[in-house]
Amino acid sequence: MFSNVHIVLVNTSHPGNIGSTARAMKTMGFKKLLLVNPKEFPSVKSDALAVGCIDVLKKAKVFSSLDNAVASANINIGLSVRTRKASIPTLSVNECVDHVLSDNNLKYNIIFGNESSGLSNSDLLKCDYIVSIPTHKDYSSLNLSAAVQLITYEFYKNTKTHISSSKKPITHATAKEKNYFIDTLITLMKETKFISVKNSKSLTKKIHILFNKTNLETDEVNMLLGMLNSIHKKLNK
């Protein structure tokens, strides 16, 4: 169950929250955990709170950067309670569940930020979608493992009624492939002076958001890269 979904924790401060997250995951059928720069892991503190779920911790993969952690996924979904200026597509919790359960041929990451500061703006730019868990207006801060528990419960609750796609599998581009294309495009746009020192920050952000909205296939990314390569050769004749 949920073999195509990873739970990703970024910059987790307290090892106990990693253990509690492992327990929250396993009770709902999730077993794949990725950790990005945890302050302390492995830890006896995380083991103590992962009651009966040490196997999830032992199989957890640790990464030095979010880029490396999400590189092989097709879709990255970030959890955030804060409204952002950047127009990254948003999903409700139900929409998120429908999206993930509709196609088990895709690899998904559900990404949770640091306990106190959440995901940074740069982290969110690596996400295809943002999801916010509805909370009371007087206090919106959820404990990390509680947030994981709520999201994974919604997935588990809907598995029995949701029919997964039986269409012919499509090879969707991974985050690594999409980011390589985006970086190549930005480099070319700088060569043509379309992106300048003055507008670099805003345009780079908009380009990332634009192409993260599109669920590109690997063949489509390769075609776009071929187009960019052709333009580059023409410019450098």
> Is the entire prediction scored with pTM above 0.95?
no
At 15-62, the pLDDT tens digits run 999 999 999 999 999 999 999 999 999 999 999 999 999 999 999 999
**175-191 helix and 218-235 helix, angle to the nearest 10 degrees:** 20
Kindly list the structural domains of the chain, giving each domain's residue range(s) and its CATH number in brackets, ordered by start: 5-159 (3.40.1280.10), 175-235 (1.10.8)
Instruction: Tell which wins on pLDDT, 234 or 71.
Output: 71
* β pairing state of 33-36 and 61-63: parallel
Residue 108 banded pLDDT, cuts 50, 70, 90: very high
Residue 103 banded pLDDT, cuts 50, 70, 90: confident
Residue type, 171: T
* Res 166: pLDDT: 47
Helices (H), 28-172: 44-49, 54-59, 66-70, 93-101, 121-124, 144-159
d(CA 57, CA 73): 20
d(CA 89, CA 51): 36
Q: Show Cβ contacts of residue 235 under 8 Å, excluding neighbours closer than 6 positions.
A: 191, 192
